[in-house]
């Protein structure tokens, strides 16, 4: 009951008594709010990958799906080994890139770069759009 009468007084509904700072004794408590952001994950990682076999694509795709990786992919070992598997691997990478709304481009004859949605590959005569 005393709490309600003090609340009325402070809000001006009770007596005409003035509010003084010494009447108020707050506790010095602070609450830390977790924003859910991991500072390690918020940094962009530029990571090289080498595709020697079709199964090597999985690690690249997993990193791209996390959304914080720009992948530089060396396709020369698979290109020298099996061109059909290379086309299959590139199609799989391209589909994932489209799904994450990223960008993909080849540069040189042996490298592909794949970026997340917030980055774009600059294109000039040395880079080319990858087509299915």
Residue-wise pLDDT for 15-60, tens only, equals: 555 545 455 555 566 667 666 655 555 788 999 999 999 999 999 9
**Is 10 a domain residue?**
no
User: For residue 11, what is the enclosing H or E element?
Assistant: helix 2-11
**Is 7 a domain residue?**
no
Task: Please give the average per-residue pLDDT across 54-78, as a whole number.
Answer: 93
**Is 3 a domain residue?**
no
**Is 26 a domain residue?**
no
Task: Please give the average per-residue pLDDT across 67-86, as a whole number.
Answer: 93
With cut-offs at 50, 70 and 90, classify the pLDDT of residue 96.
Answer: very high
For β-strands 103-107 and 111-115, DSSP reports them as antiparallel
**Is 116 a domain residue?**
yes
Judge whether residue 82 has pLDDT over 80. Answer: yes
Domain range for 106: 45-129
The pLDDT score that the predictor gives to residue 114 is 95
Q: What is the DSSP string of 17-73?
A: PPP-GGG------------S--TTTTS-EEEEEE-SSGGGHHHHHHHHHHT-EEEEE
Number of domains comprising the chain? 1
**Is 34 a domain residue?**
no
The pLDDT score that the predictor gives to residue 43 is 84
Task: Please give the average per-residue pLDDT across 69-79, as a whole number.
Answer: 94
User: CATH code at 65?
Assistant: 3.30.110.150
With cut-offs at 50, 70 and 90, classify the pLDDT of residue 74.
Answer: very high
Phi, psi of 65 (to 5 degrees): -65, -25
**Is 33 a domain residue?**
no
**Is 36 a domain residue?**
no
The pLDDT score that the predictor gives to residue 97 is 94
């Amino acid at each position: 009951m005393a709490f309600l009468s003090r609340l009325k007084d402070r809000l001006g509904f009770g007596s005409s008594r003035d509010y003084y700072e010494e009447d108020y004794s707050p506790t010095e408590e602070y609450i830390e709010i977790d924003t859910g952001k991991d500072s390690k994950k918020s940094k962009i990682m530029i990571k090289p990958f080498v595709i020697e076999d079709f199964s090597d694509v999985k690690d690249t795709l997993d990193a791209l799906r996390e959304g914080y990786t720009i992948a530089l992919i060396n396709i020369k070992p698979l290109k020298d080994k099996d061109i059909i598997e290379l086309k299959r691997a590139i199609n799989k990478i391209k589909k994932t890139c489209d799904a994450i709304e990223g960008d993909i481009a080849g540069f040189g004859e042996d490298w592909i770069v794949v970026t997340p949605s917030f980055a774009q590959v600059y294109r000039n005569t040395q880079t080319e759009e990858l087509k299915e």
